[in-house]
Amino acid sequence: MSFHRYLFLLLLFTLTACDDLYPSGEDKRAPVDTTVVGSKAGQIAPEFSLFGTEGNTVTMSVELAGADAIVLYFTMWCPICDSHMSHMRTQVIPNYPNVRFLIIDFVSGSIADSRTAQEKNGYTDLTVLVDDASEVETLYEGTMGTTVVIQNTGGQGTILMNEDYKDSVKLTQTLDSLP
């Protein structure tokens, strides 16, 4: 097959594989049911309780009761997560005193190992929760760098954001929208 014929077929395949070369920008995902418990923005936040690295039990509804919102950040203690947490700690957390920031360690496997990682990385000033059974990771469809904002909506939590941490812009916009 000649190069030009190959190039033509590749171009033809590429163009016919697209549904629309000029999309409208309209969000065509199915609407989120805001009356059910789930992991998507707009849904009721799933309740959870986890042990912290200091051996205490932390329950979402209790933490939320004394705050405007909770931010969950899922970490693996890698350089990327460390960069995100450092940025969050210096640029975001100080500006939102009525928001609780909880770090979810879903990889260390034990309270002792998680506490060691927390100390080694210099985060003893943050609340780190140990998700050794991946319960919260599953409930919130979390993975490395997932950031979840849960708003206190009078007795329950509503998810405002659940996405990967790219920078603080989306996070701060979401937190700025709190009443």
CATH code of the domain containing 107: 3.40.30.10
Residue whose entry in the numeric block shows the structure tokens 């603080």: 168
- At 145 the pLDDT is 93
Reported as a single tens digit per residue, the pLDDT across 68-80 is 999 999 999 999 9
Residue 30 lies in a domain: no
**What's the domain count of the chain?**
1
Measured between alpha carbons, how far is 123 from 107 in angstroms, rounded to an integer? Answer: 16
Domain of residue 75 covers: 36-176
* 51, part of any domain: yes
pLDDT value of residue 144: 92
Residue 9 counted as domain residue: no
Say yes or no to pLDDT of 132 above 70: yes
How many Å apart are CA 105 and CA 115, to the nearest integer? 10
Q: Is residue 87 part of a domain?
A: yes
Q: What is the pLDDT of residue 33?
A: 79
Report pLDDT for 155. Answer: 75
Q: CA–CA distance from 146 to each of 8, 16, 90 (Å)? A: 42, 35, 19
The 10s digit of each residue's pLDDT in 80-126 is 999 999 999 999 999 999 999 999 999 999 999 999 999 999 999 99
